Chains A and B, each alone.
Chain A
Amino acid sequence: MIPASAILSPEVLREARHRERRVAWQQTRIAWLFIAPAVIMVTVFLLAPVVFNVVLSFTKWQKFTGLDQFAGFNNYARLFRVPYFSEALGNTAFWVVGAVIFPLAVGLGLALLLRNIPFQETFKSLYFLPRVLAPTAVGAIWYYVYTPHGVLNSVISGVTGSPFDFGWLYSSDTVTGSVIVTFVWQTLGITMVLLLLGLAAIPRDPIEAARVDGASSGQIFRHIIWPLLLPTVLVVTILNVAAGFTTFDLLWVMAGDYPGKRTLSLAVYMYYESFSNGAWAYGSAVAVVLGAMVITVSALLAVVQSRVSKNIR
């Protein structure tokens, strides 16, 4: 039997602390071993390119040369000198608003409609179907909807009885709106499913109680469903804001022939300047600004979402 004085002696305590530290270090090493592949992947394929992109934006790289020449903030200053950046920024803002409001409004309407009806799963699958298609495939399909002799104009011609061959994807007034309609068509399903999950998580008791107290459907929605659904709505908003800021594939595939395509969105402008014009450093500066915008807006929305969730709890 060990005497109590030996248990509490400084040597024993020191040894115990050593052992604890050894075990903790071993656990840390094992933990690092497990997360190392992910850390390496994220570093090599995400963080390093981002850092490289930021460095590039301070060089003079255009076409073949300038990669080793420092440009200071010239590329950022140029953003405000040429008209295209502000045009692309305006169109991106239009995109972000459209990509948030329309899928949310239509998705919420459908979610409320489908909530308690028979064959709900069938309808959900049907609305979700476009989501499984690649955006380039969706763009290629919808391109033929909008061509001068496409589906849309044929329908309009049939209804009005007179030939109609408007180029929806070739007019600055309609090109962005037309592609947003396609975006809504593709993202509607996932938005609706997320909102249905949010609706399913709302407890029935307060709704039943309100109904017993004589509240109308509108009042129940405004005062009970909407506040409890708000965290889900904000998650959907964050996803669609990020998608709206960075949408490239649909625009490039559908509006590839439109001569003013460079200003359709910041993502398209970034690609156009880098890959079509060879202005690699300037394109990198556009990418940095675009990335900063997405991070800022998403972070703000995440803070709002967190506060709303806390208030509900």
Chain B
Amino acid sequence: MSLLRKIGAVGLATALTVGTAAAADLALYSDKTPWNAGMTGLAEAASAASGATVKLQEITPTDKYQAFMQTSIAGNNVPAFFTWWNGQQLNDLVATGVAADLTPYWEAAIANGDFSADQQALVNVDGKPYGILLNVANWVMFYNKNHFEKAGIAGPPTNWAEFVEACDKLKAAGFTPINGPASGGWMPFIWFSQLVLGTNPDSFVGLTDGSVAYDSPDVQNAFKVWGDMYAKGYFTNPQESGQDDQKLFVDGTSSMFLVGDWHSGSFVEAGMKAGEDFGTFLMPALSPDVQQSVIVEASPIVVSKAALEANPDLGKGVQAMMGVDAANILGSTVQVYNGNLKAQAPNVIIEANKELVANAKPRALVRWWEAVPSQIQGDLVAAMGEFMFNPTPEQATESMSTMQSINADYWASK
């Protein structure tokens, strides 16, 4: 055998070996870097149950991850498992036909008492579930207990007037009341959403289905309140946060941070003690006449229909990921709660938030990011961000006009 042939044979054998090994491994793709330890635990649980080798593959940042998934799916190369978003984002994905219908697994999980039908609804499209719950979070206001004490605030505010009073007291005590980052390109929607749903929750829902305009009176009111809050110095400068959304909260510059309670683990990691240094409260509506609402965020893991059909044993992996052990792995490693009713709450804050919601019985709303059509979400949030960097009445008018123009164009094309 000539040298060339030997090299060729060795190369072919290597390629086949590598190819076989690669084919045996199934991927669990994720863009959630801070949760890697928990995601690895889920992959291991799925591997042990199904007999397949499921490995975590991480791609960040989010826009790159979404681009990777879009091109993979368009090229009919769908990963076995991947994290996604619920709401419109899940609707768009399911419309492609690549996601597996997980009805049998959800029926088993509900019968077993792991999850409820309400939780299943978070990942439903046309009545069928297309995701394993990875995270179920309530959007609450985190507050620095030491700052509240120093500012002489007796307890968490229960209505808008008390909230404004608390902000004034914090400001007088030398703190910036609210951490308002614009990090990651998506955070500008946080306060826009909160102030619209605080004005009128129906308008908030209407914005996401095209029935309410982005320059309607309720949105104008939200921008007015938002601008007034900036004028009074309630918010941190988004320029100072950069890409580190929690920096100005954990370093003691600001006293409150409105975000999903999945963030509590990051505060603990940064050195704050849950329940001792920080607590949470539900944001009040802007008026006592308006029903209190809470944003519920749910992140699903989607399973490839093709992968499940090719390897039915993967179903055992799906069951394992929905089990209480997997939920406790997520809770203990990265303090993320996936909603499993038998699982332990990852920390005292998440436990307390469950009670807060149970007692106040607010209207639960899907987060704006997931509820709005994904085709226009980026352009809309950019207009909100422009206001955060220039919170003037003129910019508010311009942002509303831009958003309504984008919104009207989209719904007119439907």
Residues of chain A whose beta carbon lies under 8 Å from any beta carbon of chain B: 61-65, 67, 147-149, 165, 167, 169-171, 256-260, 262, 272, 274-280
Contact = CB atoms under 8 A, between A and B. Distances in A.
B67 A275 contact: yes
Contact of A64 (B92, B185, B382, B383): B92
Contacts of A148: 237, 239-240
A61 B74 CA distance: 9
B190 to A, nearest CB: 14
A276 B378 contact: yes
- Provide the main secondary structure of the chain B interface: helix
A311 to B, nearest CB: 49
A260 B93 CA distance: 28
A149 B247 CA distance: 15
Contacts of B67: 274-275, 278
B70 A278 contact: yes
Nearest to A274: B67
B326 to A, nearest CB: 28
Contacts of A259: 182, 188, 382-386, 388-389
Nearest to A167: B239
A281 to B, nearest CB: 11
Given A64-B93, A167-B239, A257 B183 contact: yes
Contact of A260 (B73, B183, B240, B386): B386
A67 B63 CA distance: 20
A252 B378 CA distance: 16
Interface in B215-246: 237-240, 242-243
Contact of A275 (B64, B74, B243): B64
A147 B239 contact: yes
Interface of B: 63-64, 66-67, 70-71, 73-74, 92-93, 95-96, 98, 182-183, 185, 188, 237-240, 242-243, 374-375, 378-379, 382-386, 388-390
A147 B247 CA distance: 15
A16 to B, nearest CB: 37
Contact of A147 (B66, B183, B242): B242
A170 B389 contact: yes
Nearest to B242: A257
A272 B385 CA distance: 16
Nearest to A149: B240
A272 B382 CA distance: 12
B70 A64 contact: yes
A225 to B, nearest CB: 46
A275 B62 CA distance: 10
B185 A276 contact: yes
Contacts of B98: 64
A258 B389 contact: yes
B361 to A, nearest CB: 36
A65 B239 contact: no
Given A256-B243, A259-B382, A259-B389, A276 B70 contact: no
Interface core residue of B70, B93, B386, B388 (most chain A CB under 10 Å): B70
Given A257-B238, A277-B379, 18 more contacts: A61-B74, A64-B73, A64-B96, A65-B95, A65-B96, A67-B74, A147-B240, A148-B239, A149-B240, A167-B389, A170-B239, A259-B182, A259-B188, A259-B388, A260-B386, A272-B378, A276-B185, A279-B375
Contacts of B238: 257
Most A CB within 10 A of own CB, among B73, B96, B389: B389
Contacts of B64: 275
Contact of B63 (A62, A258, A275): A275
9 contacts: A64-B98, A67-B74, A148-B237, A148-B240, A170-B239, A257-B182, A257-B242, A259-B383, A275-B67
List the 10 shortest-distance A-B pairs measured between CB atoms, nearest first: A259-B385, A167-B239, A275-B67, A276-B63, A64-B96, A259-B386, A64-B73, A259-B382, A170-B389, A277-B378
A263 B182 CA distance: 18
Contacts of A65: 74, 95-96
A63 B389 contact: no
A280 B74 CA distance: 11
A147 B244 CA distance: 14
A274 B74 CA distance: 14
A168 to B, nearest CB: 9
B92 A63 contact: yes
B214 to A, nearest CB: 16
A140 B73 CA distance: 33
A96 to B, nearest CB: 24
A274 B66 CA distance: 11
A256 B240 CA distance: 13
A64 B383 CA distance: 25
A293 B73 CA distance: 32
A170 B238 CA distance: 10
Contact of B375 (A62, A171, A258, A272): A62
A262 B402 CA distance: 14
A241 B128 CA distance: 54
B300 to A, nearest CB: 16
Nearest to A65: B96
A257 B389 CA distance: 10
Contacts of A169: 239
A274 B63 CA distance: 10
B385 A280 contact: no
Nearest to B62: A276
A305 B252 CA distance: 60
Nearest to B406: A82
User: Which residue, of B67, B237, B239, has the highest number of chain A Cβ atoms within 10 A?
Assistant: B239
**Which residue among A149, A257, A274 has the maximum number of chain B CB atoms within 10 Å of its CB?**
A257
